[in-house]
Amino acid sequence: MKTPPRLIESLRDALNNAPELPPRFLRGVSATVRVGDLVSGTSLGGRLGELAGRSVLVATRDQLAAALALIELDGVARRLVVVTPDLPAEHLPIVSAKAHVDAIVSDREGEDGVPISLRVFSTGTVVATNGTPPANRQTEWVLLTSGTTGAPKLVSHTTATLTGAIADSPSPRTDVVWGTFYDIRRYGGLQIFFRAVLGRASLVLSDANEPPGNYLARLAAHAVTHVSGTPSHWRRALMTPEARAIAPRYVRLSGEIADQGILSALRCLYPQASVGHAFASTEAGVAFEVNDGLEGFPAHMVGASGDVQIEVVDGSLRIRSPRCATGYVGDEPSTLTDDEGLVDTGDIVERRDDRYYFLGRRSGVINVGGLKVHPEEVEAAINRHPAVRMSMVRSRRNPITGSVVAADVVLTRESGEGATAEFEREIRQICHDRLAPHKIPATIRFVPALQLAAAGKLARHA
C-alpha cells in the first residue's frame, strides 16, 4: 500500500497546485481556522520541533485544538495518542504509561496526574511561524476504543490504515463541506477529519455540549454537503426542526446497525442525497460501505476476493483488510486477529436470501428461556413503524423464562403523545410479522428520550 502524504503536505500541495480553490475552514463551536494558514503557521507556539520523534499524548478539551495539533504532528511525532474527550481522568496516567508517552499537548492548565515534564500548550488558533518543518517520519496513531467498562484498549494504526478507504484523488468539487456528529478523536470522526483534510473540503466540528438542533443550524449556515454520524445520532437529529434546514448530498451512517427505518427516514427527508452506511470499527477499520439504500449487505461480498476479505465464522463477521489496525499497544491480553489473520468484529449476522443482516453484538444477547435475542434486531423491527423515532430493547428479569424482552420507544415529534395504545398495537403487529415469538417485546414503554453514550451509540445497560 502506498504511503499517503503527510497531512500538512497535502495542505501545502493544495495551496501550491490549486491556488484558485476557495479557502476552506475548520470550524469549531466558537472559533474558525482557515486550514491553509497551518502551512506557514502553528497552533503549538512554534514548539513542533520539540515534539519530533516523541510519543505525544494529544489531550485537549477543545476539538478544534485537537484537529490543528493532529495536522501539525502527523509526520513529526513518532506516536500520536489521541485521547477521547470523555476519558475518565483516572485513566489518563494508565494510557500514558502504556503508550510510553513522553510529551503532552493540552489546552488546559492544572494537574492531570501524568508525570511528564514536556508539555506544549495548544492555543486552538493559528499564528504565523517561520520555523523549519521537522524531518518527515512515519507516525503511529493510537486510538482509544470506546468500551463501556474498565480502561480503554489502545489500538494502533498507521496513516495508511486510517486513510485506506479514502479515494486517492480529491473530489473535483470545490464546495464540499463535511459535518460529523462524531468527535474526530473517535474512529468514525477521524475518518471524516481525514476525508476533509485530504479531500480539500471544509469541516464543521460538533461539540459534546451543543444540542443537536444547534449543531444542525450551524451545518445549515455553512451549507454542509456531507454529513456523518451513528444511526442514534441521526435519529436524534431527525427529532429536531433544524434537520430540515440542511440539504446534504451525502449522508453517512456508521458505528451501529443502520436499520431500514433510519435509512428510509433519511432518504425521505433528503431525497437529493446519497445515503450510505459503512461497516467500520476502531479495530477492523472501514471494512465496506453499502450504498444501495438497504439495510444489511449483499451476500456475494462474503468470501469474495479483493483487498478486503469478509468471512462469517460461527455467525460473526470477520474482516481482513489493509485498513485493519496493526495491533494493540501495551500488555493487552487479547490479540487483534484470529489464526487466519482476520479481525473478529463481534457483530452477529444472519443470511436471509441473498443478503446478510446484522443481528447485534455477540456480547449483548438477551436470553429468553434459552433462546437468544439480539436487541438490535428487535429495535430494527420496531423502528419500521413510521411514528417511531428510536427505540432501545433491553432484558427484563422474569421468573418464568429468566428474561423477557422489554422495549423503550421514542415517538417522532409529529406523533406527539396521542394514541400510544394504537401505536403499541401496530408495533406489535410489525414485530409479529417479522420476529419469532420470543423476540417480540413483552412490554413496550413510551419514553420522551433515550440516552446516548459519549460515542454516539445508545447507552445500553446490562
Q: Which stretch binds other proteins (CB under 8 A): 186-194, 224-232, 296-304, 437-445?
A: 437-445
Residues contacting other proteins: total by CB under 8 A: 17
Query: For the range 335-341, what are the long-range contacts, defined as Cβ-Cβ under 8 Å and sequence gap of 24 or more?
Result: 336/155, 336/283, 338/313, 340/311
Cβ atoms of 231 and 258 closer than 8 Å:
yes
Residues 315-354 as x/- pattern, contact with other proteins by CB under 8 A: ----------------------------------------
Q: Answer yes or no whether residue 309 interacts with other proteins by CB under 8 A.
A: no
Q: Does 404 bind other proteins (CB under 8 A)?
A: yes
Query: 200 or 438: whose CB is closer to other proteins?
Result: 438
CB of 279 to other proteins, least distance (A): 33
Q: Are the C-beta atoms of 197 and 10 separated by less than 8 Å?
A: yes
- Phi (first) and psi of residue 60, to 5 degrees: -90, 150
400 binds other proteins (CB under 8 A): yes
Min CB(366)–other proteins separation in Å? 12
Cβ at position 401, least distance to other proteins in Å: 4
Closest distance of CB 437 from other proteins, Å: 6
Q: How many residues does the chain have?
A: 462
Residue 399 interacts with other proteins (CB under 8 A): yes or no: yes
Q: Is 442 in the site for other proteins (CB under 8 A)?
A: yes
Report residue 417 as a C-alpha cell.
403523545
Q: Does 430 bind other proteins (CB under 8 A)?
A: no
**Interface with other proteins includes 396 (CB under 8 A)?**
yes
Verify binding: residue 409, other proteins, rule CB under 8 A: no
**Residue from 34, 432, 447, 449 binding other proteins (CB under 8 A):** 432
Give the footprint of other proteins on residues 352-381 (CB under 8 A).
Answer: 368-369
Residue 313: CB minimum distance to other proteins, A: 30
Cell (9 digits) for 388: 417511531
Distance between CA atoms of 61 and 101, rounded to whole angstroms?
Answer: 18
Taking the complex as a whole, how short is the minimal distance between the CB of residue 430 and other proteins, in angstroms? 12
Q: Which three cell numbers stand for residue 378?
A: 428487535
Q: Shortest approach of other proteins to residue 404 CB, angstroms?
A: 5
Which of 24-32, 33-41, 393-401, 415-423 is the region at the interface with other proteins (rule: CB under 8 A)? Answer: 393-401
Binding site for other proteins (CB under 8 A): 368-369, 396-401, 404, 406, 428, 432, 437-438, 440, 442-443
